[in-house]
Amino acid sequence: DTAVSQTPKYLVTQMGNDKSIKCEQNLGHDTMYWYKQDSKKFLKIMFSYNNKELIINETVPNRFSPKSPDKAHLNLHINSLELGDSAVYFCASSRSSGGRYNEQFFGPGTRLTVL
Amino acid sequence: GNSVTQMEGPVTLSEEAFLTINCTYTATGYPSLFWYVQYPGEGLQLLLKATKADDKGSNKGFEATYRKETTSFHLEKGSVQVSDSAVYFCALSFGTGNQFYFGTGTSLTVIP
């Protein structure tokens, strides 16, 4: 069973389009994240949701809008795509119990290419 | 603030060589520390972790010790293999809120 899954794995689109990336976790975790990884492998947190509520919202253009319909899903919608949005986007999840073992589990990534 | 600093890559080693990837951190409290590994074309996987000072995390021949006095968590392996070629990320986290702070990643290539 896949713990954290993302669809699609690859996404190629034109500038100006709107696209969505879906993420699902079957680990029973209550916190989910979106990260952006650039071509130099630098990993930047974008958003974090805990029990469907936004708890981290880093400096990200408002063209990016996360949606969490339930604790197992966190989707990322991107409006008016730009060339600079090309990157690999990772979804992750974790338990937020306040214990010290709260490792994050990552999905396989979605490679977005904007032409 | 909280941050993680890793040694610059890329690192290229011959098979069976000794590996050290340096990681130091700045934190406002007492975080848990992690090493993640990213194989080509894949997501990040947890490699090892340590949750308090002097703890040693280990997995697949890799080790790292949580050193509070030097605020470090260096990754070591005694004899690397070609299959260890990947990008390695050091990270810290606090339980509350569970935000992770990742280093910039260190690319390792092991040649036969």
Chain A residues whose CB is inside 8 A of the B102 CB are 43
Contact by Cβ (8 Å): B21, B7: yes
Q: Tell me if B99 and A45 make a contact (CB, 8 A cut-off).
A: yes
Q: Do residue B43 and residue A94 have CB atoms under 8 angstroms apart? A: no
When pLDDT is cut at 50, 70 and 90, the band that residue B50 belongs to is: very high
Q: Cα distance from B43 to chain A (closest Cα, Å)?
A: 4
pLDDT of residue B2: 85
Rounded to whole angstroms, what are the CA distances from B9 to A6, A55, B71?
Answer: 29, 33, 21
Per residue in A33-42, pLDDT (tens digit) is 999 999 989 9
Measured at the CA of B101, the angle between CA B77 and CA A107, to 5 degrees, comes to 80
The average pLDDT across B30-52 equals: 93
Residue of B nearest to A91 (CA): B43
DSSP state of A1: -
The letter for the amino acid at B2 is N
pLDDT in tens, B64-108: 999 999 999 999 999 999 999 999 999 998 765 567 889 999 999
Q: What is the pLDDT of residues A78-97, one digit of tens each?
A: 999 999 999 999 999 988 76
Contact A41 B38 (CB under 8 A): yes
Cβ atoms of B61 and B2 closer than 8 Å: no
Interchain proximity B51–A94, CB inside 8 Å: no
How much is the pLDDT for A101? 57
Whether A42 and B104 lie within 8 Å, measured CB to CB: yes
The alpha-carbon gap from B103 to the nearest alpha carbon of chain A, in Å, equals 8
Residues contacting A31, CB < 8 A, separation 6+: A48, A49, A50, A51, A55, A93, A94, A95, A96, B98
Mean pLDDT estimate for chain B? 93
Residue B44 has its nearest CB partner, among A94, A98, A106, at: A106
A3-58 pLDDT tens trace: 999 999 999 999 999 999 999 999 999 889 999 999 989 998 898 888 878 877 77
Q: What percentage of chain A has pLDDT greater than the value 90?
A: 64
pLDDT of res. A52: 78
Question: Is residue A113 over pLDDT 80?
Answer: yes
Q: Is the pLDDT of residue A99 over 60?
A: no
Q: Is the pLDDT of residue B15 over 60?
A: yes
Structure token pair of residue A94: 């974790």
Q: Between A103, A104, A108, which is nearest B42 by CB?
A: A108
